Amino acid sequence: MASNDQRVSLPPSSPIRAPGNTSLLSNSKQGLQSTVFITFTVKGGAGKTEVADSLEPAITLGGATCRFIDVDDGNRGMARRVGKENVTTLDWSTSVTGAAQWVARHAPHADTMIFDLGAGIESSDLPVMAFLGSVWRLLADGGARIVICAVVSTNAPTSTFIERIARKYGDLGEVVIVCNNQDGSHEFPAEVATLPHRKLHLGNLYAGVQAVRLSRRQPLSSVISNPSQGFELASAVMARRIFDFARQPGMKDFVRPQALDRLAELSERAPKRLRFVIGTRSDATDSTIELNARLAQADAALLSPNIDDAEILARAIQYRRAYEAFATRAR
């Protein structure tokens, strides 16, 4: 892809309205403005599709509707994750001439649209970028709120990526930095903290729980609302992660209270502590997570302060039994 760091041309346009609606998107009659999220990242693997996936249940579990647009022609990660029947795809060769027709066709059918772009695509001169620039301008002119999500992770440098995104698209809406704690280290590039943009944080998800999620090619809201048999606790762990993401102060503008209530309900069974990471799908079964959580409880009890020698011995025996049960679990 050829490099092009100039401002994308966003031609002026008259707002397009859905029939009988004051908003270009579906509606905002329940109190929230229609929203368009756009996920950008500087390199593959930073988690832009993960962020898009995580936004969906925070929106739809509150009763709103959502449309995914997969613009990653080289990967189609969004379509592979949630099922191709649940996304609208755009090819990199899509011409700008069809922008108005595309908006008129797709915008009236969702309260929220989530565009998942290919890594580094914002610095290319692919035809689809001019198309998207026109689409986003039409949506903004029609009353939609545009949120540009610059996704950074613990394994991806930012360099001038965020500043470049803000320079190109900042006049369309708000640039938000989404920090994806992919490896659980919280070690993001130091310059992220110095940038003035709103910041959101998406927590780490155990690899084994991620495997459970990816085994279902459905929207995440469906996965956590209707868990796979034998993986209810793993689904609760997913729900807890989205609940923590959605209840951040920076998400208040986008998430309805009903969604938070539903996410809290779905995450009730998620264990508060685990002794070992959930590394594989076999580690994510209900029985294994239960044993893992019991071992964590036994470990915490053993390390409690102000207990006498007799109690230490009793708790050590309990810990040993919990460890043996976990170590000898059926695989």
- Rounded to two decimals, what is the model's pTM? 0.87
> Structural domains in the chain?
35-206+230-266 (3.40.50.300), 281-327 (no CATH)
Q: How far apart are CA 23 and CA 31, in angstroms?
A: 12
142 Cβ contact list (under 8 Å, min separation 6): 15, 16, 17, 23, 24, 25, 103, 107
- Decide if 152 contacts 107 (C-beta within 8 A): no
In this prediction, residue 7 carries a pLDDT of 35
Q: How far apart are CA 103 and CA 25, in angstroms?
A: 9
pLDDT tens, the chain, 331 aa long = 443 333 333 333 322 222 233 344 554 444 445 899 999 988 788 889 999 999 999 999 999 999 999 998 888 899 999 999 999 999 999 999 999 999 999 988 889 999 999 888 888 889 999 999 999 999 999 999 999 999 998 866 676 889 889 999 999 999 999 999 988 888 888 888 889 999 999 999 999 999 999 999 999 999 999 999 999 999 999 999 999 999 999 999 999 999 999 999 999 999 999 999 999 999 999 999 999 999 999 999 999 999 999 999 999 999 999 999 999 985 5
In this prediction, residue 210 carries a pLDDT of 97
**What is the SS3 assignment for 322?**
helix
